Amino acid sequence: MRIDHAKLLSTTSHKAKLAGEFGYLNGIHYMAPASVAGVGNLCPDASEACKSICLGEHAGMVSVYSSVMQSRVNKARTFMRDRKSYIAGLRKALALLQRQAAKQGLVPVARLNGSTDINWLALHDGNRIPLVREFSDLQFVEYTKAIDRMLDYCAGKVASNVHLTFSFSGQNWDKCEKVLRAGGNVAVCFGCDTPAEFCGYETIDGDASDLRHLDPDMRGKGCGKIVALKPKGSKAKKDTSGFVVWHAAAIARAA
């Protein structure tokens, strides 16, 4: 299936638009999350709770228009079945993002995992180096639940133009603490009023923008921060799985 490269990165979503207030043009790449497209699992470390309320399937325009979900499914299927041509299109989309940002006097920033958790640090099309290294002058921002990838980032083993934030899944607090102690930041979804501290770690506002690379970088300096987010979508706002924290004094811990 042919995919229009000009539509691979969204710069009009709510999160993307917020970036403009900070002087950035944010291009976010959305595909059908996890196993929704039926071609494999694009979120291998996601918990069942995470998948059940994923914003890539249940929040924003995708929850209103079936065509948006179908587009994400089509992209995921093409990505899995015709990787080389899909990455070629994404390469064009990233170059286009840079040109658009220059015309608007903004700084480009890309998030390739808008609704997935693919290891773009290693992924390539067989002929070239990974996109995040090919576009070494472009800032990439990602959330991930992949602990090894995140700890490599905390240890400074990831390309300098890539920023990673770990995500609490409702069942991985033990991994979150490893990241926090290593100086990495962890995103937690709060249904309650955001506390100043959570489990002994300082919280910062994660909803002001999606520009996580502007958050404090504590690697090599001390403990990381909790990036506080609010639940997005009707399902998340009713979540009782443990993914959304409703009481700041309690947390669901993985066995």
**73: Cβ contacts below 8 Å, ≥ 6 apart:** 32, 36, 37
pLDDT of 100-110, one tens digit each? Answer: 999 999 999 99
Residue 56 has pLDDT above 80, yes or no: no
Q: Looking at the DSSP assignment, which residues form a beta bridge with residue 108?
A: 25
Contact 55, 96 (CB under 8 A): no
The mean of the pLDDT values for the chain is 89
Contact 158, 152 (CB under 8 A): yes
CA-to-CA dists, residue 55 to 34, 88, 222, angstroms: 12, 27, 31
What whole-number percentage of the chain has pLDDT above 70?
91
Residue 227 has pLDDT above 70, yes or no: yes
Distance CA 142, CA 124 (A): 17
**pLDDT average, residue stretch 191-212:** 94
Residue 65 has pLDDT above 70, yes or no: no
What residue has token string 């043009």? Answer: 25
Give the number of C-alpha atoms closer than 13 A to the C-alpha of residue 248, restricted to the C-beta side. Answer: 13
Residue 58 has pLDDT above 80, yes or no: no
Residue 52 has pLDDT above 80, yes or no: no
